[in-house]
Amino acid sequence: MISPAYCRKMAQYNRWQNDGLRTLVAGLSESDLHLDRKAFFGSISATMNHLLWGDIIWLHRMGAGDPPSVPVAEHTRITADKVAWDELRDATDTRITQWARSLTDDDLARDLTWRSALNQSDMVNPMADCAVHFFNHQTHHRGQIHAMMTAAGQAPDATDLLFMP
């Protein structure tokens, strides 16, 4: 289905997209970031924090570090402000890159088992499917953030993978 090379490419894409987002975030006020924009998680900040929390929990599940510092009920508030978000986003993107570089075909062929905090059940899925979900989740929520940023008067960079430097 997928390969370690795919995961490395998607980690590179994730970093590229988040670096562009980090530049946009720096130019917005905290009130702009927290404004309810009627998106699924409400604000740009809440959506960015949801995505960041999700990345950290998936890295933890896949054996690449500690779990998030806050429980699932607080996932949209994992960081208090844009400076804290920027720092944790950068560190998490580094973890994602390191995880992807370490993957083998055998890793992707095994099952991943974890306890879901959302539905309070044990889960077992192929690691390859979990990795695809991991990267798809990032792209999905960055799309929401892109739309909110555009509505906030920002001009996000291209998001097409084929334009990645």
DSSP state of 40: T
Q: How high is the mean pLDDT of the chain? A: 96
Residue-wise pLDDT tens digits, 63-84: 999 999 999 999 999 999 999 9
Return the pLDDT at 1.
79
**Among candidate residues 68, 129, 58, 145, the one with its CA nearest the CA of residue 96:** 58
Cα–Cα separations (whole angstroms), residue 3 to 7, 9, 16, 55, 114:
7, 10, 20, 19, 22
Taking 90 as the threshold, does the pLDDT of residue 124 lie above it? Answer: yes
Residue-wise pLDDT tens digits, 82-118: 999 999 999 999 999 999 999 999 999 999 999 998 8
d(CA 85, CA 51) in angstroms, rounded, equals: 11
131-151 mean pLDDT: 96
Range list of β-strands (E), the chain: 111-116, 121-126
pTM value is: 0.96
% of the chain at pLDDT higher than 70: 100
Taking 90 as the threshold, does the pLDDT of residue 119 lie above it? Answer: no
d(CA 152, CA 165) in angstroms, rounded, equals: 26
d(CA 71, CA 91) in angstroms, rounded, equals: 19
User: Six-digit token pair at 74?
Assistant: 């607080």
d(CA 84, CA 81) in angstroms, rounded, equals: 5
**Among candidate residues 92, 108, 97, the one with its CA nearest the CA of residue 4:** 108
